[in-house]
Amino acid sequence: RKEVEQDPGPFNVPEGATVAFNCTYSNSASQSFFWYRQDCRKEPKLLMSVYSSGNEDGRFTAQLNRASQYISLLIRDSKLSDSATYLCVVRGVTGNQFYFGTGTSLTVIP
């Protein structure tokens, strides 16, 4: 079983739409959780960390459900510039390793 699973999409949404991505992780003792954004042919970059209480950064909201072992990312009022692949990332029990989902592709259409 994979450590982190994501729906690969693709998600094609119109500008202004709200879109949600989910991801599940297998190890209940995992320590830390993140969403990364990766543009085509570029490196992944941190979008936001995910905290147990949930957190928001502008149009982006991340939530963690430890009981169900899933993480979500909500993007409101989608912009063309949000088009990218979004990676769900879990930091392992020892704190040394990161486990990546395969990414969810988002295209925002004018």
Partner 1 sequence: DVKVTQSSRYLVKRTGEKVFLECVQDMDHENMFWYRQDPGLGLRLIYFSYDVKMKEKGDIPEGYSVSREKKERFSLILESASTNQTSMYLCASSFPGGGTEAFFGQGTRLTVV
Contact set with partner 1 (CB under 8 A): 8, 31-32, 34, 41-46, 49, 87, 89, 91, 94-98, 100-103
Our CB check for partner 1 shows the closer of 8 and 16 to be: 8
Q: How far is the CB of 2 from partner 1 (least distance, A)?
A: 9
Our CB check for partner 1 shows the closer of 30 and 78 to be: 30
Angle at alpha carbon of residue 57, lines to 86 and 37, rounded to 5°: 15
Cα 41 to chain center, whole Å? 18
Our CB check for partner 1 shows the closer of 19 and 64 to be: 64
Which residues lie closer than 8 Å to 14 by C-beta, 6 or more apart?
78, 108, 109, 110
Beta-bridge partner residues of 65: 70
